[in-house]
Structure 1
Amino acid sequence: MLGLWDFTHISVTQNNLQELKEMDKHLFRALTQYWNPTYSCFTFGKVDLVPSVEEYTTLHRCPRIQADKVYSRAANILTFLKKLMIITGMSKQWVTTQIKQKGDSKCISWKCLQDLIMAHPNTKKKVDVFSLSIYELVIFPKALGHIDEAVSDLFNQLGKRVMPVPIIWAKTFRSLNACRRVGEEKFIGCAQLLLAWFYSHF
């Protein structure tokens, strides 16, 4: 569970929530302008600053028992179909009809999983499906409104006490480099965690 609430406080009785969202969007856009892809750090004047794995681990509140297990993609992993069957607890036929090809990867729509969360008879599976959705929509937002095959690889290993921080951290660096190199506006990474890190320093 992320502990971002301790680092980001919003009072909807005093602030306009839409204005706060827009402010974060503008702040994030400004923050990416300070990213130096050559040295992989933020450069503010004469000060270089970069999020570390330790800081991300603290912000993510990962237990120490996970420190020795880092996510890496195994050579013989389960297929997307099998992983979805395990996570959702649904039949092969149901999962097969829900999988779509989007761009260069397979995915399943958030709407489909949302309906499943509402109707699933197994409470544990409801939580698993909801957690998978959060990982995709917040931490690795690659395809808008869809849960990507790559996220299911990581999510499938979380039950084995694998620490997700290094992959989140690496994705942040790659996304920042892409934003600066080709001028992409879309940041494909966990913007919330990066902003929480930024707020913790300033």
Structure 2
Amino acid sequence: MSGLVQFYDPLYRCFTFPDFQLLPTLEEYAYLVGIPILDQLSFSGLERVPTSQEIADLLHIDESIIGAHMTTKDGIEGLPSDFLIAQATLYGKAMSEDAFESIFVLLIYGLVLFPNIDKFVDMNAIRIFSILNPVPTLLGDTYFTLHMRNAKGGGTVVCCLPLLYKWFISHLPQTVAFKENKGCLRWSTRLMSLTNDDIFWYNRVYDGVQIIDSCGEFSNVPLLGTCGGINYNPILARRQLEMVRAWRKIHRKGRKELGLKNCIALEPYTPWVRRRASEYLMPYVYLRPTPMVMVGPSTLPDQGVEELRDEDRSRA
């Protein structure tokens, strides 16, 4: 992942490569974790801290146990993971499914999805667990930590790295040659040699999915993570998803508003990305692309634009 974060573009809040851009979206994260995005406010950090009794009710265990193990680390309350693992083991052996599953899921929230302090499930993770709408917060944490790392010129990426990794490799070439990497090339070399023709742009699991495109008066989507707020620009991801939706004042857009579903970049876009890559400066030396497969061009010449428009009108 250290190679990927070098390509983060703070101006457009995406990963900019020599001739294409990629950015994780709410819809992709929702699919990868298997949790739908609810039409309700997600974690804001302003929620009331739950009492020991409320946490006990969430976990289906006795309140006195929670109260006895509630701890403060680095100024934030929470529960030691060793304690929760012991409780999950205890209730698992007792075949108490509700308690076991609740504790196990909370451990995933605190140690995997929203890691903060080693071996500790903090109160933010507990509050997000109680809200049951974690995807916006997951994406917010991803963008916020990438942005802060870029601003500081380095540092630790504190977010759900396995999820970011899973998202990224889902777009990488699916060819045997790329996966096997028999030449043992470094990730920096492999990434700099990719072109937009090599990227796996669209997964059919998103057919029919509406995308959160903007919120209220904003032209983009504001996100709140556990450490701060940021926005991202899903308009840059239409090549990845190609349909649309949004937060409190939901803006729904579908094929009628966005046009035909395709993964083709029109001619003005690709030169713009190349100029941006040149201005921003790539973190590694640009290499001549290594052909993955023989495919047709993924950038339409100007004459192809009008053909798409005519086809769009005929289907409208």
Please give the range of the TM-score, normalised by the shorter of the 2 chains.
Answer: 0.7 to 0.9
In 2, the alpha carbon distance for the partners of 1:107 and 1:101 equals: 6
CA distance in 2: counterparts of 1:194 and 1:52, whole angstroms: 11
> 2:170 aligns to what SS in structure 1?
helix
What's the % identity of the aligned pairs?
25
- For the pair 1:142 / 2:136, whether they are aligned, the reply is no
The TM-score with structure 2 as length reference comes to 0.49
2-structure distance, mates of 1:67, 1:87: 19
Look up the equivalent residue of 2:117 and give its one-letter code.
Answer: A
**Alignment match of 1:116 (pick from 75, 84, 87):** 87
Structure 1 CA distance, aligned partners of 2:35 and 2:77?
29
Q: Distance in 2 between matches of 1:74 and 1:190?
A: 18
CA distance in 1, matches of 2:28, 2:85: 32
Distance 1:137 1:38, change over 3 A: same
Q: Distance in 2 between matches of 1:148 and 1:59?
A: 24
Distance 2:150 2:45 in 1: 31
| Alpha-carbon offset, residue 78 of structure 1 | 4.9
Aligned 8 A contact 2:56 2:63 in 1: yes
Gaps of 5+ in 2: 173-316
What are the Cα deviations for residues 174-194 of structure 1, in whole angstroms up to 9, with x where unaligned? 111122222454322111111
User: Of residues 70, 74, 77 in structure 1, which corresponds to 2:48?
Assistant: 77
1:73–1:153 Cα contact (<8 Å) kept: no
1:167 pairs with 2:137: yes
- By how many angstroms is 1:105 displaced? 0.8
Amino acid aligned to 1:133:
L
Select 2:149's aligned residue among 179, 189, 195: 179
Deviations 1:92-123 (A, max 9, x none): 33212211111121111110001111113432
Per the normalisation by structure 1, the TM-score is 0.74
Q: Which residue of 1 aligns with 2:59?
A: 88
CA RMSD of aligned residues (A): 2.1
Aligned residue pairs: how many? Answer: 169
Query: Partner residue of 1:190?
Result: 160
Larger Rg: 2
Distance 1:142 1:75, change over 3 A: closer
For structure 1, which runs of at least 5 residues remain unmatched after alignment? 1-27
8 A contact 2:60–2:98 mirrored in 1: no
Query: Which has the larger helix fraction?
Result: 1
1:48 CA displacement: 2.4
Question: Are the counterparts in 1 of residues 80 and 120 from structure 2 also a CA contact under 8 Å?
Answer: yes
Could you tell me which residue of structure 2 aligns to residue 103 of structure 1? 74
| Structure having greater relative contact order (Cα 8 Å, sep ≥ 6) | 1
User: Which is worse superposed, 168-177 or 81-90?
Assistant: 81-90
CA contact (8 A) 1:80 1:149 kept: no
